[in-house]
Amino acid sequence: MLKRILPILLVFIITSCVKDVDFDQAEDLLISPAVESSLIFFDFPASSFQEPTGTAVVVEQDELELDLFNEEFVRDNLVRAELFFEVTNSIDRNFRADIVMFDANGGITNSFDITVMPDGNNEVVVTHTELFIDTSLDQLKNTMRIQVTLSMFPSPAGIPLDDTSLGNIKMRSKATLFFEIDTE
């Protein structure tokens, strides 16, 4: 008896679980990935800023070429971007990081600065996030080069830094890019 009921029961179970599948749903798929990438990193010891009188502004500069925005996929699907900067200062001096972004013709697409005040030789951490949406995102997409100028300001007491001076100034940064990829 069980041998006759089991096949009927199996057929009932198998057919009762079937539901129409709408394969057209795959055409309406919207994918929203976020991608993170390192941008600029530096770590300068205090001795990098030696200046004999302790009264001058000392400058270090670095540049980053960006070819990311030349990619059609990025230009078409990027909907938002965030540039995050963290500056750590343990040198007993004021620092300012000027970040300037340039297009292919050398025109400025965006600029901002980050100021880090000292706390003796204690570590001070300052963060800054630059958000790009709408018009500012269009300007970012035209960016081909980022320039970072780090300026150390003179000691109020005129005390110069030398090979034995303590501390470091560090910067790390990353870009977070938010995409919307429509499969239609």
Residue identified by tokens 């000392």 is 58
**What was the pLDDT predicted at 15?**
58
**What was the pLDDT predicted at 68?**
86
Assess contact for 78 and 177: CB atoms under 8 A: yes
> Rounded distance, CA 39 to CA 34, Å?
16
Q: Of 184, 181, 183, 148, whose CA–CA distance to 79 is shortest?
A: 181
Whether domain 29-182 has CATH 2.60.120: the reply is: yes
DSSP assignments along 89-152, one per residue: E-SSS-EEEEEEEE-TTS-EEEEEEEEE--BTBB-EEEEEEEEE-HHHHHHHHT--EEEEEEEE
CB-count burial class (<10 Å; 0-12, 13-18, 19+) for 168? middle
pLDDT in single tens digits along all 184 residues of the chain: 556 666 665 565 565 555 666 666 656 677 889 999 999 999 999 999 988 888 889 999 999 998 888 889 999 999 999 999 999 999 999 999 999 999 999 999 999 999 999 988 789 999 999 999 999 999 999 999 999 999 999 988 888 999 999 999 999 999 999 999 887 6
Alpha helix segments (H runs only) across 17-70 = none
**What was the pLDDT predicted at 102?**
97
- What spatial distance separates the first Cα and last Cα of the chain, rounded to whole Å? 55
Assess contact for 175 and 37: CB atoms under 8 A: yes
**What was the pLDDT predicted at 14?**
60
